[in-house]
Amino acid sequence: MLPFTTGVRTPEIYKTSQLLSNITGIMVQPNKAIVGKNAFAHEAGIHQHGVLSHKLTYEIMTPESVGVPQSTLVLGKHSGRHALKKRYEEMGYHLSRTELDKAYKLFTKLADRKKQIFEEDLLVILQDGIREIPETYSLRLVQALAGNHKPSTATVVLERDGRVFVQSATGDGPVAAAYEAIDSITGLRGEVIDYTIRSVTGGRDAVGEVFVHVSFDGRTFTGRAASTDIIDASARAYLHAVNKVLYATEREKASRDGMPVAQQV
C-alpha cells in the first residue's frame, strides 16, 4: 500500500456522471465502464445465476460503491430460470416448480421475438401461460395470408392427445379464416360476440393481448391470449374458449354419469 490518499468519494461517481451528461447534453455510452447503463447489467444466464449467488462473482466492485442503485438483471433469451424466478419474486409472485417451468417455456418463446422482456410482458406470461383449465387442443402452427383483393386464407395445425390435425379455410380476414379452420378441426361452431385487442407494451415488437367472447349453442365462453403476433394471439384466444367448452362438457358428462370430476389444474 502506498501512503497516499485521493479523497475521492466513490459513491458520487455515478451521480456526477449523470449531472455532467445533463449539463453537456452528451449521453453516456451504454457500455461505458462503471457509469454506463450496461456496466452492471447481466443478461447471460450463467452471469445472472452467479451474481444472484454472490455479487462479486462477475463484478469487481459493488454498484452501490460507485453510486449505482443496484445491479440490473436484463431478461432476454440468454436468461435462465433462476433470474426469471428472482424477478417474479421481486414483483410479488412466488411460483411453484411446475408454474415456473410453464412460465419459463413461454418466456423463452417470447424472448426469441423480443430483445428485452419487461414486467408487463411477465404479467402477461403469468395470466396467459398458467391456465386454469387443461388444454384439450393445443396450437402447433397458424399461418395466414391476407390482402385487399382476395379472401384471406389461414392454415391451422392443432394437436390433441398426440394426434396432429391440419386444416385450411378462408374468411373475411385472417382472424376469421383461422377461426373457421379451428371450427373445422374441433367440430364446434362458435359465434364471436366480442373481440378486443390491446397493446401491453410499447414499440414495434409490442405484445398484443386478445380477448374474445364466443357463443357455443347459446352458451358464452371467454378466451384470452397474448403474443407479439396478433394472428397467433387471436387463434390461441379462440382456442382457449374452445377448450373451456370441451372441459365444461366433460365435467357435465362425468357428473351425469356419477363419475369423479377431475380437478382444475
Sort strands 72-73 and 41-42 into parallel, antiparallel or unpaired: parallel
Among 57-61, 137-141, 239-243, 255-259, the range scoring the smallest mean pLDDT is 57-61
Q: Residue holding cell 407479439?
A: 228
- CA dist 32 and 107 (Å) reads 29
| 76-103 pLDDT, tens digit each | 666 778 878 877 776 667 777 887 888 8
CATH code 3.30.465.10 for 10-73: no
Answer yes or no: is pLDDT of 168 > 90. Answer: yes
Report residue 128's pLDDT band, with 50, 70 and 90 as the boundaries: low
Say if residue 54 is exposed, middle or buried (CB neighbours under 10 Å; 0-12, 13-18, 19+): exposed
Q: What is the CATH number of domain 138-256?
A: 3.30.160.270
Answer yes or no: is pLDDT of 2 > 60. Answer: yes
Residue 134 or residue 185, greater confidence: 185
pLDDT of residue 60: 55
Could you check whether 10-73 and 138-256 share the same CATH topology? Answer: no
Task: Extract the C-alpha cell encoding 217.
Answer: 349453442
Greatest mean pLDDT range, 25-29, 124-128, 163-167: 163-167
Angle formed by the axes of helices 230-256 and 174-186, to 10°?
30
Q: Would you list the domain boundaries of the chain? A: 10-73, 81-129, 138-256
User: What is this structure's pTM?
Assistant: 0.55
Beta carbons of 230 and 238 less than 8 angstroms apart: no
